Amino acid sequence: MSFLKRRQPEEGQSNGGQPNDPDFNQRFPALFEHLTANRYPDGTARRTCSLSLFSEDGLWKACLNDRDQGLVLFVTEGRLDAILEGLELLLQEEFPPWRKSTINRPGGRQGRKGGA
């Protein structure tokens, strides 16, 4: 049995609001804020982060992409739940180990809409 299916065009369309997931917000408040807050504390607009999750070499890997600042944060763990816990702990540090992103930069990797 396969769980893969083609999504119909009307599925997954958003009303533009923020997700309402109090359990996730309570367990992972820093990660929730990075993924959902469309304003900085001073009120200026921000693009929300995106989170990519994949497996490689027998491990779970995640990349949190701060699209607004052009930064990425990586976590690798053996358990899927440890990925979210690891991201939460890093985001609560005073200086998380963010790296400059090469996505959507001149000479960097381009997404589907950007070509290449």
What is the per-residue pLDDT for 88?
96
What predicted TM-score, i.e. pTM, was given to this entire model?
0.76
| Domain segments of the chain as ranges | 22-38+46-102
Do residues 59 and 76 lie in contact, with contact meaning Cβ atoms separated by under 8 Å? yes
Sheet holding 71-77, edge to edge: 50-56, 59-66, 71-77, 99-100
Do residues 30 and 93 lie in contact, with contact meaning Cβ atoms separated by under 8 Å? no
Strands 71-77 and 59-66: antiparallel
Q: What is the pLDDT of residues 13-59, one digit of tens each?
A: 555 677 889 999 999 999 999 999 999 999 899 999 999 999 999 99
